[in-house]
Chains A and B, each alone.
Chain A
Amino acid sequence: MKTAKQLSVFLENKPGHAYNICKTLGDAGINIFTLSLADTNQFGLLRLIVEKPEAAGEILKKAGVIVNITEVLAVKIDNRPGVLAKIYELLSASDINLEYAYAFAMRRIFLLRVSDNEKAFQILSGNGFSLLSHEELFSNENEN
């Protein structure tokens, strides 16, 4: 099974917080490839894909940020109608819950957090989808 590593960052509900996170990473020379921000009226969650998640995680922890590394699926998708629907259909037919999803649009990669990575990986790769490891996300072969 191949998965990508995501930084999951807890954001307290205060102004400038997401800025501080991005600034900390930028100052450390860490490039953010894509991100997704979820929020409630009490707090937020920032999900980030960076090239070296372990190193970035350590830097954030040292800055007092609450951060976890989460394994997510990175699915290569074609730029045509109905592709996402197909993914959802396959997952739902196998009773796999989708927690959240976002895109790495530049490279046409769809990032998925599901209830069962292993099972979802088997089903999607068995149905012609190509799933990438964290390293493959950043290799030039996947450049579009």
Chain B
Amino acid sequence: MERSALQALAQKDFMSRDELESIQLKRLKNIVSHAYKNQALFRSRMQEKGLDDTCIKELKDIQKLPFFKKVDLRDTYPFGLLCVPMENIIRLQASSGTTGSPIVIAYTKEDVACWQEATMRALMIAGIGSGDILQNAYGYGLFTGGMGLHYGAEGLGVTVLPISSGNTERQIKLMSDFGVTAISCTPSYFLHIIEKAKQLGYDFKKMKLRHGIFGAEPWTNEMRQRIEQESGIKAWDIYGLTEISGPGVAMDCPARTGLHMFEDLFYPEVIDPETGEALPDGTEGELVITTLNKFGMPMIRYRTRDISVIVKGTCECGRTIRRIKRIDHRNDDMLIIRGVNVFPSQIEAALLTIPGVQPHYHIIVRRHGDLDTLEVQVELSAELFGDTIRSIEVIQKKIGNAIKSIIGLAVTVTPVEP
């Protein structure tokens, strides 16, 4: 992309509120109409409320619309929410679901471009661009982290090293050998990289690494301070979720007073999670996002389960797009382990695949060094264990494999008494 085009893209974060709101209204009308015409679930929920696709007259009319939840994605798995013919879909991504079946998100060519625009704008806020080398250590594949950052960086003319996650020693060697200037991964994985690098005798001060784009799991300001102190890089918080598109829904800025949401693309609301009532800016509640410019599988008033606040007032960085407070907790039982979403119900589903195993379990999350680990304590029964150590180890292995195949993470399985 031309330099001037990139500048124009970055300027979108600074447009006047009037201009922004008129774009939002136009896009909201359009997406509501599109979903109403093409998606049975949305249409029937609208009709239940006595609404049709002409109900949006002003932005706050969004508050009349029904919510979408993760369960809707699961219930309509895989393509029930599709609003365009399958031949118009050029990409499928998936994230772990609540009962073992994944959540699938379908993107049209325009949707991929919209997502790319968001990640480009996010990286530009961090000052990353042509001349930088980005080591993208998010997982590539169905998880949106890898592909999301990849497209964003490539769009900016950044040199991308698509290393994906894992193999920490190689990560450090290439970071050093290639003169990598920016890395993207989960913050806990980067802490692990720091530890490993120390052990191997690398000195971050001698490396060219300057920026870390960290997300895909909640993390605290204390963790940010530690990363910055120990590695000397700047740690940026990026927010996103598969259902909305992937990383790049909102991004830190130098003022560090919240994450700017690219609200011409993703419209934020905060609601009372109990009543569903929309709350004014400055009040804590559940973050709800509407995709204003995504057509394959638009999400209208999607309840993220993330607890946040829309920050009042303008940011000292001058951006007019609103900020959300950094996410540090959620209002469901989802765990985020090394960037992977884990629901206890998935553990249960895995246990139920093994004959004789009861779905009675404890999940214990521990931090070993800087990596979260999962231990699953499972009730053993007399039929399962026989009389040898080996018979129990076989069951442990079976359970471990079943869980790994569903959540994608290795866990420690400990047999316990009922």
Contact = CB atoms under 8 A, between A and B. Distances in A.
A40 interface: yes
Interface in A3-56: 6, 8, 10, 12-13, 38, 40, 42-43, 45, 47
Contacts of A43: 392, 414-415
Given A10-B380, A10-B392, A43-B392, A66 B387 contact: no
Given A43-B392, A66-B381, A12 B387 contact: no
Interface string A59-75: 00100111110100000
B385 A66 contact: yes
Interface SS of chain A: strand
Contacts, number: 51
Interface SS of chain B: mixed
Given A43-B392, A66-B380, A12 B417 contact: yes
Interface residues of A, number: 21
B325 to A, nearest CB: 41
Given A10-B392, A99-B388, A100-B388, A66 B418 contact: yes
A10 B385 contact: yes
A113 B391 CA distance: 14
B387 A113 contact: yes
Interface in B379-398: 380-382, 385-390, 392-393, 396
A100 B387 CA distance: 10
Contacts of A64: 417-418
B223 interface: no
Q: Chain A CB within 10 Å — which of B380, B387, B392 has the most? A: B387
B416 interface: yes
A47 B389 CA distance: 11
A66 B392 CA distance: 12
B415 A67 contact: no
B417 A45 contact: no
Interface in B168-217: none
A47 B387 contact: yes
A6 B417 CA distance: 20
Contacts of A68: 382, 385-387
Contacts of B388: 45, 99-100, 113
29 contacts: A6-B387, A8-B387, A10-B380, A10-B385, A10-B415, A40-B393, A42-B396, A43-B414, A43-B415, A45-B387, A45-B388, A45-B392, A47-B387, A61-B382, A64-B417, A64-B418, A65-B417, A66-B380, A66-B381, A66-B417, A67-B382, A68-B382, A68-B386, A70-B387, A99-B387, A99-B390, A100-B388, A113-B387, A113-B388
Given A8-B386, A10-B392, 13 more contacts: A8-B387, A12-B416, A43-B414, A45-B388, A45-B392, A61-B382, A66-B385, A67-B382, A68-B385, A70-B386, A70-B387, A99-B387, A113-B387
User: What 7 A-B pairs are tightest by C-beta distance, nearest first?
Assistant: A8-B387, A70-B387, A12-B417, A68-B382, A12-B416, A66-B382, A42-B414
